[in-house]
Amino acid sequence: MNLSKILKNIFLVILFGLVVAACATKKTTTTAKVDSQIQGDVYIGSDTVEELAKGVPDRVFFATNESILTTKSRDTLRKQAAWLRENTNVNVVIEGHADERGTREYNLALGERRANAAKDYLMTYGISADRISVISYGKERPVDPGSNPLSWSKNRRSVTVKAN
């Protein structure tokens, strides 16, 4: 039992090595580019990102099917919260979005879940719930029309937009 497990692992390691080698020889440039923009299935680049104010990014990104906020997302949302505390007259709408690789109705629910994850975090930093409304667009408003993992990662997002 143990031996077969070990053998299996060795096999996997070899296989993995082969895959890496194949990538290294063939796809060095593209893989490196995508790798630098996606970390753990979450987009970390700055393409499509706008600013609510100087140094305050307007959006956070999610992994496939997830609504968990990454360290970077929490950092962005803390900046949004600080800005909202300074600008007490501003209300916001958080738009939740999903990528195109899911059924329409489920993605509407997923977008709502993502927008609320961002809203809840802003609330824990002192922003009152009545200043934040949420809307889910599901997969209806992609920011990137591409059908590839990088485009999808940019579309899995929640965007904070000034409401007034």
Partner 1 sequence: MKIIKLLTGICIFFLSYTSNSFSLIEVDITRGNLNPLPIAVSPLSQNNKTKKIFQNKLNLDDLGLEISKVIENNLKQSGLFNPLSKDAFLQKPDIAHLKPRFEDWSLIKAQALITGKVLIENDKLKVEFRLWDVLAAREMLALSFTTVPNNWRRVGHIITDKVYERLTGEKGYFDTRIIYVSEEGPKTQRVKKLAIMDQDGFNIKYLTLGNELVLTPRFNPTNQMVTYLSYFRNLPRVYLLDIETGIQEVVGDFPGMTFAPRFSPDGKKIIMSFAKDGNSDIYTMDIENRIVERITNHPSIDTSPSYSPNGKHITFNSDRSGYQQIYVMKSDGSNVKRISFGNGIYGTPVWSPRGDLIAFTKLHKGKFYIGVMRTDGKGERLLTENFYQEAPSWAPNGRVIIFYRETKTNKEGEGFSAKLWSIDLTGYNERLVETETDASDPSWSSLLSN
Q: Does 131 bind partner 1 (CB under 8 A)?
A: no
Among 52, 60, 92, 117, binds partner 1 (CB under 8 A): 117
Q: Cβ neighbours of residue 53 under 8 Å, at least 6 residues apart?
A: 83, 87
Q: Does 162 bind partner 1 (CB under 8 A)?
A: no
Among 37, 39, 91, 151, binds partner 1 (CB under 8 A): 151
Angle (CA) 79-82-85 rounded to 5° is: 150
Name the pairing type of β-strands 92-97 and 132-138.
parallel
CB closer to partner 1 out of 83 and 95 = 95
Token duo for residue 61:
């990104």
Q: How far is the CB of 100 from partner 1 (least distance, A)?
A: 7
Among 54, 71, 130, 145, binds partner 1 (CB under 8 A): 145
Q: How far is the CB of 140 from partner 1 (least distance, A)?
A: 6
User: Taking the CA of residue 93 as centre, how many other CA atoms within 13 Å lie in the half-sphere pointing to its CB?
Assistant: 10
- Residue spans of alpha helices (H) in 27-148: 28-37, 71-86, 104-124
Which of the residues 1 through 30 are near partner 1 (CB under 8 A)?
A: none
Q: Does 108 bind partner 1 (CB under 8 A)?
A: yes
DSSP single-letter state for residue 89: T
Residues binding partner 1: number (CB under 8 A): 31
Q: Does 110 bind partner 1 (CB under 8 A)?
A: yes
Q: Which residue, among 133, 137, 120, has the nearest Cα to 91 in the 3D structure?
A: 133
